[in-house]
A and B are shown apart, each in its own frame.
Chain A
């Protein structure tokens, strides 16, 4: 049973098409990361999953149930926002227990849940503080705590680490990485940081212009990118592109690469013609334009 299934979802703002037939399915306990340049539709997709923005067409299933027209509250999901969105007038304790209170969880259970997540995230000593009295890193922990306390079916993380400084970001990344198998939860995580994507994900969806270009494990996306955009987007430092021509060489094929000193390099190509007529450089990239 898929924990989350997105089926041909489209989103249009007026004439602008932000999501164009997006379909994704992930299993329970999987960690899906949406990456892509800004404006690619990943945040819109996140909001559609959360129910914060209605979709134009298509369906969204959580735990097998069609929730396309359900309110956010009815979907049983929790979200960690980039800005943390902690309730400024409430203490950390109330921030964490608010969602449980809204769901009419008895007080004793609420308290237990708060203690549990505070322990887990090492924020027990901050419970009586207000968000304004906390540093960015601590606020981020509280935001995570608020999501964890609810134990929903799916967690949504919207660039949760992008407002932290570099050192904290690495620490929190490690922590999330450790938390995930312990909690065994399904997570959808939006980021534009592909190091985050590579280290955390079970499954990466690379998006551009409202499309999903590639959906696969970090290894697949890194080693077998479907096109030059994905190849160039993933990996740090980014990949080199070398223009080459694929030509018949005896029984097999070879790549011809022009060099500055006018002596062409000929590399054997063991795989046969990969993309029809003209081939790409290296193993990862394809350049459909014929070489000069």
Chain B
């Protein structure tokens, strides 16, 4: 149709090249900062955990000596066991309570919007505030025990917070109070996302309501359960402020968690090496949860 134009392989113009590079330039600061502040610091902490640092970071290496000390440290084992108890109970109770609340709210009750927001309020609070308030509520002289006794039940006892064996469960109570509303909101959103016609079809098949929830709805909510577990596990591992405000790790160190253990040793007890080692173990714990999650997340995204 026409003579072939000259076939010169032109390269992009200056402005074209700038356009191609701008996204990378914009990301550059965050990308430069992320590796340094996240990955660099992780590495740095790992290096510190291999040293004998006490008050100040020093760099005489003692291999994995700090990890050995940690393994031999009874307080660390108390903290780890506490995290197991606290984490498991916290996640399970939050899930059950959150799911139940969501199903109740899902029955098209009036004022649902208002209730939903009210249940979410605790999530807006700082764990410090939650801890302080529950500290009063659980204080035998001030709180629930005192109140029930004032009603005439003189022998009523609820003094878990001063009982070394039971104090860890007070952490569970306060944390559940704070987070179950959030889990409820997640479930509620998940319930709303389910196609109504599936439920109608099940009703036509003559299934009872609990049966519908158990057999039809719950399987659809698997991704919600999954993300809820992830978020809760993450809160549990990071829990530091709640312990500090509610029990201060006490009585004694009965309610220590790895997070408080790390802080106490690194900042208050001049045991930087040991604190770093415990931080690395915490990271290991998070990774054990996170890597399968990210793996499945990225894989499903590729399929999507």
Interface residues of A (CB under 8 A from B): 1-2, 5, 7, 25-27, 59, 61, 64-66, 68-71, 74
Contacts and interface: CB of A to CB of B under 8 A. Distances in A.
24 contacts: A1-B2, A2-B1, A2-B5, A5-B2, A5-B5, A7-B4, A25-B1, A27-B2, A59-B7, A59-B9, A64-B5, A66-B5, A66-B9, A66-B10, A68-B9, A69-B9, A69-B11, A70-B12, A70-B13, A71-B12, A71-B13, A71-B15, A71-B19, A74-B13
Contacts of A2: 1-2, 5
Contacts of A5: 2, 4-5
Contacts, number: 45
A65 B5 CA distance: 7
Contacts of B10: 66, 68-70
A259 to B, nearest CB: 46
State the majority secondary structure of interface residues on B. loop
B2 A66 contact: no
A219 B161 CA distance: 89
A27 to B, nearest CB: 6
Q: Secondary structure of the A side of the interface?
A: strand
B8 interface: yes
Nearest to A1: B2
B16 interface: yes
Interface string B1-34: 1101111111111011001000000000000000
B237 to A, nearest CB: 39
A205 B27 CA distance: 42
Given A7-B7, A59-B7, A70 B16 contact: yes
Cβ-closest 9 pairs across A and B:
A2-B2, A71-B16, A69-B12, A25-B1, A64-B5, A61-B5, A66-B10, A69-B10, A1-B2
B137 to A, nearest CB: 49
Nearest to B7: A59
A251 to B, nearest CB: 40
B1 A66 contact: no
A26 B1 contact: yes
Given A66-B9, A69-B10, 5 more contacts: A5-B4, A7-B7, A27-B2, A64-B5, A66-B8
A31 to B, nearest CB: 14
A59 B11 CA distance: 12
Contacts of B11: 69
Contacts of A7: 4, 7
A9 B87 CA distance: 58
B246 to A, nearest CB: 47
Contacts of B12: 69-71
A32 to B, nearest CB: 11
